[in-house]
Every structure is written in C-alpha cells, then in structure tokens.
Amino acid sequence: MFHSSFEAFESFLFVPDKVTNRGAHIRDAIDLKRTMTVVIIALMPALLFGMWNVGYQHSIAFGIKDWTLIQTFVFGFLKVFPIIVVSYVVGLGIEFAFAQIRHHEVNEGFLVTGMLIPLIMPVDVPLWMVGLATAFSVVIGKEVFGGTGMNVFNPALLARAFVFFAYPSKMSGDLVWISGLAGGHGMVDGFSGATPLAIAATGAGETAHNMTVSQLVSHLPSASDMFLGFIPGSIGETSTLAILIGAAILMITGIGSWKIIVSVFAGGFGMALLLNAFGANPYMQIPAYYHLIMGGFAFGAVFMATDPVTGAQTEKGKWIYGFLIGVMAILIRVLNPAYPEGMMLAILLLNTFASLIDHYVVQSNIRRRLRRATNA
C-alpha cells in the first residue's frame, strides 16, 4: 500500500538491485537522484554565502562591529534553515501523497525545487508564507499537470511569483531584504536597506530621472560588492561569484545546459547595451554589465532558466529561449517601473513560450524532410 513511499526511502538508502530485463543489458551509472544531487552541490556556494550574507547585512544595518565570521554565519544559518525545512517538509509531503495516490515512484525533482525556493525568498519572509507558496507551486504548478516532467512553469519561480503577487508588502520595498529591518528599531541612522535594483529603479530618495547616470551609479554599491555579493537581496541571489561557481559545476558535469546559461547572459548584456544606446534616462545608461550582477539575474540564468522540464528542449531552441529570457528580464527591469526585478517574470514568460520555440525548431526539421522527399 505504501509502496511508493517505501521505494522512495529504499532507493534513497540504496541503489536498488533491479536488473535490466528488456532492451539494453547495461545502463549508464547516472540516475535522476545523481542528477539532482549535482544541482544541490552546485547550489551550495550560493546557499552558504547567502547564509553568511544574511548575518553580514544584519550586522551592517544594526551597527554590529564585533561579530566573527562564525557568528555572522550562525546568525544567517538560524534565519535560513527554518525556511529550508518548511519548504522541504511541505513540498516532499505533498509529493509523497501524490505518488501514493497515483501509484508511481516519488520523483527526485523536488529535492532541487525545495532548495531553490528558500534561496529566492527574502530572509524575513514569514514561514507560513513559504509553506503556502510551496504547497501552491507543487499542487498547482506541478501535480495538476501530471507531476514531475509535465509541468509548464518552473515550480520554484511559481512559489516566488505566488508570494510576490499575493503578499506584495512582504516581497518588495526596502525593509524585507535584511533580517530584522521590518521591526524598524535599532538600526543605523539613515540606513535604507534598499537593494541595488530598487535604487536603480527609483533612485535614493529622489526619482532617478532627476539624476545623471554618474550620480545614480554613485548611489549603487560598487560593482565588486555586487559581484561578490555584499548587498541586500534574496537569500541566494546576491553573490554572482558563488552563483558562477555553481554554474561551472553545472556546465562541467553537463547537468545544466551551457547553451542556456551563456545565451541568457548574452541576451541580457545585449539588451542592456541596446538600452545604453538609447539612453533616455539614467537607468538606461548604467553600465550594461551592472545588470548581470544586480538582483536575481545571474541566479535565474544559472539555476532557473536551465530547468530542463520547463525550458526549451531542442538544442537550437535552447539558444533562442535563453537569449529571450535575458532580453525580457532587462526590458522588464528598466522599462517597467512596477517590477524592479524582471528575471522572475521573464523566465515564467519564456516557460510559456518554450514549447512554441521547440515547435518551430521541430517544424523546420519536418519541412526539411518533406522537401527531401519531394526532390527525390
């Protein structure tokens, strides 16, 4: 009766003793668990840095000078770990229940989703919201479409989009990104807590339109701070360096499509350059590479766009899919003041179009075959 749950635990502990029966007599050593493990490992640098940064940002905001590295990390760990636990418990609980009802094996996909969800949340997000968002993304985002492998939208991003639209006050503004800031007392005078994206979109205290680009840039953290990640933001998204280490792991192992990662960055950089060329306001004029190290761009490019289920599945399609994500993300960021972060919406948008892109790629193959037949 609890076969699928038993299988899940058994295969977690042991690679099963099942032998080939039909078809090829030998099989590759890789399985889905291994694949997902690689992604989890790739997420580790961003997660560990994110935990440290939670403590670091808190210490800056509240003027704490004497924390050691360990203290800083432990502070962040204690803030982040409960979010991870909630995400896994809720998500895996639902996955096991569905596997039981449908009599199929528990798929490992949620091992990654469950780690991605905490990494794209602001640190002060209430835990019940994380639980609700996870439940929403697993049930509405995945299981209604038929479970792992069938979903249209990236489940982790759907969880974030859910919180973003359902509880905007907890997911935007300047006070949610640093632990303890929403309480509003004890922080350093004049500290804003705004993310670089928010500064870029609205300026610091005055509208960005009244500033020159050099004034705007002077309000932003330095490029090296943004690249290394010493900035406020969602837990896992701040350090472009840590994310790039993850990207290297994904690309070297071949688990994440290098085509998608490269083309997202290319699309984003290209679009930012194009906006530079127009240069109608200071935000359009900021250096193009700033866009790649601000906000969730890098995280989305490396860990979200590369989801093989919701992305384009043809190799040609992957180039187009990735490039358009990059373009749309920057477009939404710069030209739509309502949403400072464009990456989430860009990826969800292209998730919708991924199968359309594939359709045209496959159609061209079909036309080639038909042409060959008529010429013969």
Structure tokens that stand for 208 in this block: 């960005």
Considering the complex, state which of residue 317 and residue 342 has its C-beta at the smaller distance from another protein. Answer: 317
Segment holding 279, helix H or strand E? none
Length of the chain: 376
Considering the complex, state which of residue 1 and residue 19 has its C-beta at the smaller distance from another protein. Answer: 19
Could you give the CA distance from residue 122 to residue 113 in angstroms, rounded to a whole number? 16
CB of 358 to another protein, least distance (A): 8
Judge contact between 97 and 142, C-beta under 8 A: no
173 burial type by CB count under 10 A (0-12 exposed, 13-18 middle, 19+ buried): middle
**Cα end-to-end span (Å), the chain:** 58
CB of 359 to another protein, least distance (A): 10
What DSSP string describes 176-212?
A: SSSTTGGG-SSPPTT-----HHHHHHH-SSS-GGGS-
CB of 310 to another protein, least distance (A): 11
Task: Name the nearest CA neighbour of 304 among 271, 270, 257, 267.
Answer: 257
CB of 365 to another protein, least distance (A): 6
Main-chain dihedrals φ then ψ at residue 41, nearest 5 degrees: -60, -40
Considering the complex, state which of residue 102 and residue 209 has its C-beta at the smaller distance from another protein. Answer: 102
Could you give the CA distance from residue 158 to residue 217 in angstroms, rounded to a whole number? 32
CB of 249 to another protein, least distance (A): 10
- Count other C-beta atoms under 10 Å from residue 338's C-beta: 7
CB of 86 to another protein, least distance (A): 24
Considering the complex, state which of residue 215 and residue 253 has its C-beta at the smaller distance from another protein. Answer: 253
Considering the complex, state which of residue 107 and residue 239 has its C-beta at the smaller distance from another protein. Answer: 107
- Site residues for another protein per CB under 8 A: 7, 11, 13-20, 22-35, 37-38, 105, 107-109, 147-150, 252-255, 257, 308-309, 311, 313-315, 318, 358, 362, 365-366, 368-370, 372-373, 376
Considering the complex, state which of residue 185 and residue 372 has its C-beta at the smaller distance from another protein. Answer: 372
Task: Name the nearest CA neighbour of 358 among 308, 304, 320, 306.
Answer: 320
DSSP state of 64: -
Considering the complex, state which of residue 19 and residue 338 has its C-beta at the smaller distance from another protein. Answer: 19
- Count other C-beta atoms under 10 Å from residue 2's C-beta: 11
Considering the complex, state which of residue 178 and residue 312 has its C-beta at the smaller distance from another protein. Answer: 312
Token pair 């192992």 in the structure block, residue: 253
Considering the complex, state which of residue 255 and residue 324 has its C-beta at the smaller distance from another protein. Answer: 255
Residue-wise burial string across 66-102, b where 16 or more C-beta atoms lie within 10 A, e elsewhere: eeeeeebbebbbebbeebbebbbebbbebbbbbbbee
CB of 308 to another protein, least distance (A): 4
CB of 236 to another protein, least distance (A): 22
CB of 317 to another protein, least distance (A): 10
DSSP state of 239: -
Task: Name the nearest CA neighbour of 232 among 243, 221, 244.
Answer: 221
Could you give the CA distance from residue 290 to residue 286 in angstroms, rounded to a whole number? 7
